[in-house]
């Protein structure tokens, strides 16, 4: 398979998440990332997953059950902008964002620039040193460009002494493919 935003994100997550870690899936959707994270952290780790849609919670629950996973995951029906109401630790290894809308559902229920930025900001606060944030950011089509521009502007201005930010863009591919952003907390 050709490299794409999803493979980039998965490789980055795999490199940075190990057994026993506490991690966050900030956009649960149909649970692919929640499952992936839970498999990486194992029975001694923990995954917090957020979504604003009941349908996402149900789909993710089913996905986990199909894979015989019944523990060490909390599926939270709330916006990722409120993660600080649920997560009091500051030892999170990885926060995963896959922005946009729930596939095969209403495209109008999607992540929004303001709440996305708040959620990224709060994620950085709960990360441990050397913890990472993985961001898959869509553009064009139903998504438009506003969220991508807002996120790029936000990460561009993060203090380079504290955070390393790497942006991957499939520069010669047509139709505005999604971009991947890596954030590493350095100190």
Ligand X SMILES: C[S@@+](CC[C@H](N)C(=O)[O-])C[C@H]1O[C@@H](n2cnc3c(N)ncnc32)[C@H](O)[C@@H]1O
| Residues in contact with ligand X by the rule CB under 6 A | 27, 29-33, 50-53, 56, 79-81, 98, 100-102, 109-111, 115
Q: Which is nearer to ligand X, 136 or 183 (CB)?
A: 136
CA atoms within 13 A on the CB side of 111: 32
CB of 179 to ligand X, least distance (A): 14
Nearer to ligand X, 21 or 33 (CB): 33
| Distance between CA atoms of residues 117 and 113, nearest Å | 6
Least distance (Å) from ligand X to the CB of residue 134? 10
Neighbours of 32 (CB within 10 A): 17
Closest approach, Cβ 130 to ligand X, in A, equals: 23
- Which CB sits closer to ligand X, 3 or 77? 77
Say which residue the tokens 């606060």 belong to: 125
Q: For residue 100, what are the β-bridge partners? A: none
Pick 74 or 164: Cβ nearer ligand X = 74
What's the min distance (Å) between Cβ of 129 and ligand X?
A: 26
Among residues 21 and 147, whose Cβ is nearest to ligand X? 147
Task: Identify the three-state secondary structure at position 112.
Answer: coil
* Beta carbons of 25 and 74 less than 8 angstroms apart: no
Q: Which is nearer to ligand X, 106 or 164 (CB)?
A: 106
What is the closest distance, in whole angstroms, from the C-beta atom of residue 112 to ligand X in the complex?
7
DSSP letter for each residue of 119-141: HHHHHHHHEEEEEEEEEEE--BT
- Taking CB positions, which residue lies at the least distance from ligand X? 29
Least distance from C-beta 161 to ligand X, angstroms?
A: 29
Residues 87, 41: Cα–Cα separation, whole Å:
17
Compute the distance between CA of residue 84 and CA of residue 148 in angstroms, rounded to an integer: 23
Secondary structure (3-state) at 80: helix
């Amino acid at each position: 398979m050709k490299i794409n935003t999803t493979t980039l994100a998965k490789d980055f997550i795999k490199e940075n998440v190990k057994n026993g870690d506490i991690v966050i899936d900030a956009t649960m959707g149909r649970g692919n990332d929640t499952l992936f994270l839970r498999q990486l952290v194992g029975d001694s780790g923990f995954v917090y997953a957020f979504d604003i849609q009941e349908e996402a919670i149900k789909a993710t629950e089913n996905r986990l059950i199909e894979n015989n996973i019944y523990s060490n995951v909390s599926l939270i029906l709330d916006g990722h902008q409120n993660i600080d109401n649920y997560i009091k630790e500051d030892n999170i290894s990885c926060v995963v964002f896959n922005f946009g809308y729930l596939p095969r559902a209403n495209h109008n229920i999607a992540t929004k620039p303001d709440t996305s930025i708040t959620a990224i900001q709060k994620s950085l606060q709960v990360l441990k040193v050397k913890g990472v944030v993985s961001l898959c950011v869509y553009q064009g089509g139903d998504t438009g460009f506003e969220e991508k521009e807002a996120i790029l502007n936000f990460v561009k201005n993060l203090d380079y002494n504290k955070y390393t930010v790497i942006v991957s863009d499939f520069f010669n591919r047509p139709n505005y493919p999604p971009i991947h952003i890596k954030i590493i907390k350095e100190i």
